[in-house]
């Protein structure tokens, strides 16, 4: 993995004082989310593969309705501090909207997949994001997940 | 890199051994690229023209190690820069590579010339905006526990117990939570989708299933309708800000509105 030199494009800024976040540029997580599995498919014509590129064509979507996922939801629910949630005032809420540093395992599902793709040096950007496969199922679970399930 | 291509004559592009032609996307032949646009080869990408359309390409080394963060960002920066300039672009899926410029012309541009022309015409003056709505961290989970006695009870039953003992109860808890979140998500997403898609030419709703996800919707926007979208999105962001946060990204290339050729 090379070091990304495009970090300057990854900064986010807010326009005006509104509630709507209008990032002026895209972070890596945004870009992956936006372009993964998107765009004109011309695979039929491709005669050359770039070394290393196949990892990006692997469908990183993870089937959500699985035992593993349920366990993650359960853990997130059990970890929940209800008192803290109930005691939050508006100011805290707004603060947490911009910080969002505490990431549970539930959020980590696709983050993990992204890390497998991109390297793990973008944790700050890679907000959890899971999508159901819409047109085709995930080709296969990653080896790592298999081992977890066997364990 | 020894290719000597210039932007006005794609035929000068030279693909040597160990190199290939990376296709960013399809654009009208008359497209003017933003100046100082840096592509994957370190210089501005090239236009490979055929009739009314052109492929936006770079000659790249095949084995230099691909798929890094910088590659992805550069690719999206290139296609988004074209789109942000108000010019239509059909982004090719990241990593689309052909062996030679002849192949780009003969196998991509020539057989699809009419379809590309029509698709590009439909994108003129339009670009994609993407609205992402998430709950404030753990807000939806807390609501679900508060609203559902069965979930709250299972939570109490399992939370301080060893995982091995409560394995099946925790699966049941997770299943209930997952379903409850899905219902909540769809209730919250529906009015948002109604509002933000009203000024859009077209839209695609992306399905999300994370514990803090509400909805993500890609909107194909006429440039003139963007202020209406921003206003509508700001209004619902303000209305729901105690539970949700909203992000509107764009303009970008119309990634979600490219049909399969």
A49 interface with B at CB cutoff 8 Å: yes
Highest mean predicted confidence (pLDDT) among A67-81, A91-105, B218-232: B218-232
CA distance B141 to chain A (A): 6
Task: Mutate one of B71, B211, B247, B253 to test the A interface: name it (highest A CB count within 10 A).
Answer: B211
Chain B residues whose CB is inside 8 A of the A56 CB are 66-67, 72, 94-95
Local structure of A122: helix, strand or coil: coil
Omega before A12 within 30 of 0, i.e. cis: no
Question: Residues A42-51: what's their mean pLDDT?
Answer: 58
In whole angstroms, what is the distance from residue A25 CA to residue B249 CA?
Answer: 8
Indicate the SS3 state at residue A62: coil
Find all residues with CB under 8 Å of B82, minimum gap 6, and list them. B25, B27, B31, B33, B34, B56, B89, B253
| Average model confidence (pLDDT) across chain A | 53
Which residue out of B61, B63, B72 would a mutagenesis test of the A interface target, given it has the greatest number of A Cβ atoms within 10 Å?
B72
Which contacts (CB < 8 Å, 24+ apart) does range A78-82 have? A78/B155, A78/B158, A78/B159, A78/B170, A78/B173, A79/A104, A80/B138, A80/B141, A80/B142, A80/B145, A80/B155, A82/B142, A82/B145, A82/B146
* Identity of the residue in A1, A19, A128 whose CB atom sits nearest the CB atom of B68: A1
**Nearest by CB to A5, which of B70, B103, B261?**
B70
What confidence tens digit (pLDDT) does each residue in B198-230 have?
999 999 998 787 889 999 999 999 999 999 999
Of the candidates B64, B67, B77, the beta carbon closest to that of A55 is on B67
Please determine, for the modelled complex, whether the ipTM score is greater than 0.85. no
Domain ranges of chain A: 7-150
Please tell me the distance from the alpha carbon of residue A78 to that of residue A72, in angstroms, as a whole number: 10
pLDDT at A46 over 60: no
Interior angle at CA B219, CA B218 and CA B220, nearest 5: 125
* Interface residue A46 vs chain B (CB under 8 A): yes
Query: Does A59 contact chain B (CB < 8 Å)?
Result: no
Put simply, the answer to whether B178 touches A104 (Cβ < 8 Å) is: no
The pair of structure tokens assigned to B187 is 């209730």
Percent of chain B residues past pLDDT 90, beyond the cut: 71
Paired residues of B128 in beta bridges: B220, B252
Report the pLDDT value the prediction gives residue B1, as an integer from 0 to 100.
38
Nearest residue to A75 via CA among B161, B187, B147, B118: B161
Q: Is B127 left (phi over 0), alpha (psi -120 to 50) or beta?
A: beta
* Mean of pLDDT values over B64-71: 77
Lowest mean pLDDT among A81-90, A114-123, B71-80: A114-123
Task: Report the DSSP beta bridge partners of residue B203.
Answer: B219
Specify the length of chain A in residues.
151
A22, A75, A86 member nearest B248 (Cβ): A22
A69 has pLDDT over 70:
yes
SS3 of B210, please? Answer: coil
Q: How does pLDDT run across B4-43, given as a tens digit for each residue?
A: 334 444 445 788 888 889 999 999 999 999 888 999 988 8
Mutate to test the interface with B, among A45, A84, A101, A123 (most CBs of B within 10 A): A45
Each residue's pLDDT tens digit, A134-143: 333 333 333 3
Contact A35 B260 (CB under 8 A): no
Residue B140 in contact with residue B211, Cβ under 8 Å? yes
pLDDT recorded at residue B122: 93
B77: alpha, beta or left, given left = phi > 0 and alpha = psi -120 to 50? alpha
């Amino acid at each position: 993995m090379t070091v990304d030199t495009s970090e300057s494009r990854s900064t986010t800024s807010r326009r005006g004082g509104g509630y709507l976040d209008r990032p002026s540029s895209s972070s890596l997580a945004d870009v992956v989310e936006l372009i993964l599995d998107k765009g004109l498919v011309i695979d039929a014509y491709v005669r050359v593969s770039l070394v290393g590129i196949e990892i990006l064509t692997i469908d990183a979507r993870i089937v959500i309705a699985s035992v593993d996922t349920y366990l993650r939801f359960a853990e997130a629910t059990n970890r929940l501090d209800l008192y803290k949630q109930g005691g939050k005032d508006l100011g805290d809420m707004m603060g947490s909207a911009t910080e969002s540093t505490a990431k549970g395992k539930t959020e980590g599902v696709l983050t993990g997949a992204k890390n497998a793709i991109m390297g793990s040096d973008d944790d700050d950007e890679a907000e959890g994001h899971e999508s159901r496969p819409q047109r085709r199922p995930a080709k296969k679970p990653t080896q790592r997940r298999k081992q977890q399930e066997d364990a | 890199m020894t290719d000597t291509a210039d932007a006005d004559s794609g035929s000068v592009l030279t693909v040597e051994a160990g190199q290939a032609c990376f296709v960013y996307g399809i654009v009208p032949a008359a497209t003017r690229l933003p100046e100082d646009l840096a592509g994957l080869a370190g210089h501005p990408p090239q236009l490979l023209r055929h009739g009314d359309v052109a492929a936006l390409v770079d000659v790249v080394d095949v084995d230099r190690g691909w798929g890094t963060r910088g590659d992805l960002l550069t690719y999206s920066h290139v296609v988004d820069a074209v789109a942000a300039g108000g010019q239509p672009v059909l982004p090719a899926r990241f990593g689309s590579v052909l062996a030679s410029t002849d192949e780009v012309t003969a196998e991509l541009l020539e057989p699809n010339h009419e379809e590309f022309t029509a698709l590009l015409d439909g994108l003129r003056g339009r670009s994609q905006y993407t609205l992402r709505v998430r709950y404030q961290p753990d807000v939806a989970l807390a609501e679900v526990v508060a609203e559902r006695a069965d979930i709250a009870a299972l939570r109490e039953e399992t939370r301080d117990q060893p995982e091995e003992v409560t394995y099946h109860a925790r699966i049941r808890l997770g299943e209930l939570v997952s379903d409850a979140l899905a219902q909540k998500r769809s209730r919250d997403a529906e009015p948002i989708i109604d509002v933000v898609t009203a000024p859009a030419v077209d839209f695609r709703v992306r399905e999300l299933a994370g514990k803090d996800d509400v909805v993500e919707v890609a909107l194909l926007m006429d440039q003139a309708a963007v202020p209406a979208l921003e206003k509508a999105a700001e209004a619902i962001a303000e209305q729901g800000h105690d539970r949700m946060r909203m992000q509107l990204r764009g303009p970008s290339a119309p990634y979600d509105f490219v049909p399969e050729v």
